[in-house]
């Protein structure tokens, strides 16, 4: 199972990233556990300067923007290969 973390205060952009990650995982048929990290210390652990952030299997893959679903599918596929 892949782990996905959405980093941010819970703003609309964070919710968009969460929805994109969920849809990308569904399209791949990947089993994922999605969680949100909203506290400042938790976010800073990933050295994120701007939110939203996206972490897959403890690797920061995107920060400060909303990634496309195609990008997230690629990141998830890579994580599945390396899992």
Where do the structural domains in the chain lie, given as residue ranges? 2-82
How far is the C-alpha of 72 from the C-alpha of 32, rounded, in Å? 13
Task: Please report the DSSP string for 9-48 in residue order.
Answer: SS-HHHHHHHHHHHHHHHHHT--EEEEEE-SHHHHHTTT-
Q: What is the mean pLDDT of the chain?
A: 96
2-82, CATH topology level: Glutaredoxin (3.40.30)
DSSP one-letter code for 60 = E
pLDDT tens per residue, range 27-39? 999 999 999 999 9
In the chain, what is the straight-line distance between the N-terminal and C-terminal CA atoms, in Å? 9
Position 83 confidence tier, pLDDT thresholds 50, 70, 90: confident
């Amino acid at each position: 199972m892949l782990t996905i973390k959405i980093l941010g205060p819970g703003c609309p952009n964070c919710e968009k990233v969460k929805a994109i990650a969920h849809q990308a995982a569904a399209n791949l048929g990947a089993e994922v556990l999605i969680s949100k990290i909203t506290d400042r210390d938790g976010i800073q652990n990933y050295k994120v300067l701007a939110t939203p952030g996206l972490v897959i299997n403890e690797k920061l893959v995107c920060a400060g923007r909303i990634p496309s679903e195609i990008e997230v599918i690629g990141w998830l596929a890579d994580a599945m290969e390396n899992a």
